[in-house]
Structure 1
Amino acid sequence: MTTKTRYTLLLACGVLLGCSIGKHPDTKSADKGWTSLFNGKDTKDWTVKINHHETGDNFGNTFRVVDGTIQIRYDQYGNFNDQFGHLYYKTPFSYFHLRFEYRFVGKLQQGAPSYTLRNSGVMFHSQDPRTMLKNQDWPISIEMQLLGGLSDGRSRPTGNMCSPGTDVVYKGRVSPDHCIDSRSKTYDGDQWVKAELIVMGSKLITHIIEGDTVLQYSTPTIGGGIVTGHDPKQKIDGKLLSSGYIALQSEGQPVDFRNIEIKQLQGKE
């Protein structure tokens, strides 16, 4: 299956939002057109925004580069104090295929909410970090939520969807849920996990974990709740989201990211 055929098939599946695509093809053509968002040396192309701090303030050296990875750490924090943070790439995207690897390490920071244990994410279609207020907790965005297993034998899927200040259409209707679980496997321990995100503007969004399509939905719009401390002018409920910024999340759990690459796709709204 060619890359072009695959994306056409993904769009066709958008009507049902339940089609299983199966394994992602591994072909030479699929490896063309990729651009690295992270150079492995620094985050000069990225902007930090942490709750309770001004945009650009990398409080506590939260986001740091070590051994070719972006590491998220809290060793200079003390109590976490709801200092949820995000690291934004400088350019917004609309139609794209993002791929990256992540792993959870270490222990949850003191004072972080229990639900953030082995929990992080990649935000997309996000508002510009420069439009966020100092005490805004989350960006208005869509999140590809990343969860690690708790080594307790229980299922804990990753590659889920969460919707801070937004809504999505899932299985033919606007989802009433803030988060939608994927059908992925559970990944325990500190292992690296490969994740992909295929975004066709507002038409279809596909989450892929270790080559398997695990979740699809469409029609992201501004709405819902969860986000607090924001500028009301930025939250225009009902506005369709077809583009925005990509960001890596910090919410109390140490996590690493590497091999962050993007391919821009053809399409228009």
Structure 2
Amino acid sequence: MNLNKNVWLSLFSILVLSIIVSCGTKKSDAEKEDKVENTKENTATEWVSIFNGNDLTGWTIKIPGHELGENFGNTLRVEDGILKVRYDEYGPEFGDRFGTVYYDKYLTNYRLKVVYRFVGETAPGAPTWGYRDSGIQFHGQPPATQKLDQAFPVCLEFNFHGGNGTDERPLGAACTNGMFIEHNRVQNKTTCIPADVLKTFHGDQWVTAEIDIKDGLIIHYVNGEEILRYSNPTYNIENATAKLLMTNGDKRVKGGFISLQSNSHPIDFRSIELMEY
């Protein structure tokens, strides 16, 4: 078959264009796949145990009236793979020694999961509110800045309450010390805001408490169920210690240290896991 020169040129141009389009499409598809893979990699998270079950490596104790790191009365001890808070060596009086054990890392966006249970009897001489009371403190001040006799750090708290076997005593309240939060877009007027979903756990049963913190939104979970959410934590400028934690006058709380309370009632922590975003 005879084809003139123009026809041949047209066919050749079509062939070249088809190859270019095909290559471009393959390249575009490859770039999309790479982008998806990179996104998966950037958002991939996993639980990491931050309590090794053997000792308090990575944690620092602070008990009022005692220097940072001093474990007065063997309050914090690890036995049988469990972090235990005990007061059997305190003597006849608790003496307002409300302790804290800090995880040694500044954190911003993360999810924390703690499995705990209350056991035994409240320490002699403890306040009545100390009965089956503890909690997770977070967005806390650096451990080294806590004063010798300072009872509680500037922080937020996921409060733990345990039932007495009869009465309702829900856990999961959000408590503040030297900070404010917004619940339903309203700044708190009281120290503690109760959970929206009320749950009481009696006896020595294990309970799983989780906190999810991301970009100023904070959510409390109990045994996998959301019970409270709030947002926009800010420092209380009328609190002298909190004011020192501000940067260039910025009241927003962007992160801090997590810690577990020693509030006068024995408590066990079976596992402590962290997932950073």
Question: Which amino acid is 1:139 matched to?
Answer: P
Question: What SS does structure 2 have at the residue aligned with 1:257?
Answer: strand
Question: Which amino acid is 1:62 matched to?
Answer: T
Question: What SS does structure 2 have at the residue aligned with 1:60?
Answer: helix
Pick the aligned partner of 2:263 from 246, 251, 261: 251
**TM-score, with normalisation over the residues of structure 2?**
0.79
Cα deviation code 1:146-187 (max 9, x no counterpart)? 1101112x2211121111121111111111010111123210
- Does structure 1 retain, via aligned residues, the 8 Å contact 2:161–2:170? yes
Q: Which moved more, 1:138-147 or 1:158-167?
A: 158-167
- Identify unmatched segments of 5+ residues in structure 2: 1-42
Question: Which amino acid is 1:255 matched to?
Answer: I
**TM-score, with normalisation over the residues of structure 1?**
0.81
Instruction: Name segments (4+ residues, structure 1) moved above 6 Å.
Output: none
1:234 shift after superposition: 3.1
Cα deviation code 1:39-79 (max 9, x no counterpart)? 11000110001111111111111111011111000111121
1:31 shift after superposition: 10
Percent sequence identity is 40
- The CA RMSD over aligned residues, in Å, is 2.0
Q: How many residues align?
A: 231
Structure of higher CA gyration radius: 2
Question: Which amino acid is 1:110 matched to?
Answer: P
- The structure carrying a bigger helix percent of its residues is 2
Question: Which amino acid is 2:199 matched to?
Answer: K
Corresponding residue number in structure 2 for 1:264? 276
Question: What SS does structure 2 have at the residue aligned with 1:163?
Answer: strand
Matches of 1:54 and 1:65, distance apart in 2: 21
Question: What SS does structure 1 have at the residue aligned with 2:258?
Answer: strand
Corresponding residue number in structure 2 for 1:141? 155
Pick the aligned partner of 1:35 from 38, 45, 48: 48
- Identify unmatched segments of 5+ residues in structure 1: 1-29
Once the two structures are superposed, the pairs formed by residues 1-269 of structure 1 within 5 Å of their partners are: 33-78=46-91, 79-152=93-166, 154-182=167-195, 183-201=197-215, 203-223=216-236, 231=241, 234=244, 239-265=251-277
1:231 shift after superposition: 4.8
